[in-house]
Amino acid sequence: MQTVYQAAGGADGLLRLACAWHARVLADEVVSHAFSHGFHPEHSFDQALADIGLAGDDRLHQVLHDYFAWATTTTMSRFHQSADDVPAGLRIPQWSWDGLISGTDPDDI
């Protein structure tokens, strides 16, 4: 079975997605300071998936949406004051078609 990473286009696909997402964040006057002021739960950047051609795959769209929502409301929200608050060596949790892979969340270690 293809991984979420492979379905999203691997490193190149995720880089395109990140660029599209960041372009949308910076262009949005409400959330352009999202990383220094937290986030607003009514804002979604799912449109970035369409921007790079991934919106046609409903399953991939949903799993990436779920990951972004999870990461934004858990891991990223812990360090919203300053990048200096992020601990050195923090692991990036792994996500699968079924959600968070047990044991990969930094809180599980």
- The boundaries of the domain holding residue 61 are 4-78+91-108
Of 16-25, 76-85, 87-96, the range with the lowest mean pLDDT is 76-85
The answer to whether the beta carbons of residues 95 and 63 sit under 8 Å apart is: yes
- Identify whether 85 is part of a domain: no
Of 48-52, 77-81, 82-86, 89-93, the range with the lowest mean pLDDT is 77-81
* Rounded distance between C-alpha atoms, residue 73 and residue 19, angstroms: 21
Interval 29-35 mean pLDDT: 63
- Identify whether 84 is part of a domain: no
- What's the number of domains the chain is made of? 1
- Identify whether 34 is part of a domain: yes
Interval 75-103 mean pLDDT: 77
pLDDT digits (tens, 9 = 90+) for 84-94: 777 787 777 88
Computed over every residue of the chain, the mean pLDDT equals 78
- Identify whether 86 is part of a domain: no
26/108: higher pLDDT: 26
Which pLDDT band, with edges at 50, 70 and 90, does 71 fall under? confident
Task: Provide the 3-class DSSP secondary structure of residue 46.
Answer: coil
- Identify whether 31 is part of a domain: yes
pTM for this predicted structure: 0.63
